[in-house]
Amino acid sequence: MKINWSVRFNNPHWWAQIALSVGVPVLAYFGVSASDLTTWDAVFDVFIKAIKNPVVFVSALTAIFNALVDPTTKGLSDSVTAMTFRKPN
């Protein structure tokens, strides 16, 4: 699996997609809104509950996997063209 990680790490849209891939299943399953997470203790409590819950954990992993896969290529790797990028195109 060849992925141009440096370009993805420098792409704010990719980071937003990863954050939503984790955040949405967690918040939806536990019925928590973002405004409920006003302290770090509350954030860590929900995060620990999510890790301990197989349904939430697998949902988040599936969403992250979907964020990693480039649907325009065959398999799991980036295209040859995408591998030559130095910054997000």
- Which amino acid is located at 4 in the chain? N
The predicted pLDDT at position 70 comes to 82
- Is pLDDT at 11 greater than 80 in this prediction? yes
Task: Report in angstroms the alpha-carbon separations of 60 from 31, 64, 68, 81, 88.
Answer: 15, 6, 12, 29, 25
Please tell me whether the overall predicted TM-score, pTM, comes out greater than 0.75 for this model.
yes
Residue 62's Cα: distance from chain center in Å?
9
pLDDT tens readout for residues 55-86? 999 999 999 999 888 878 888 888 888 888 88
Phi, then psi, of 38 in degrees rounded to 5: -95, -5
Length of the chain: 89
H/E element holding 14? Answer: helix 12-30
The predicted pLDDT at position 83 comes to 87
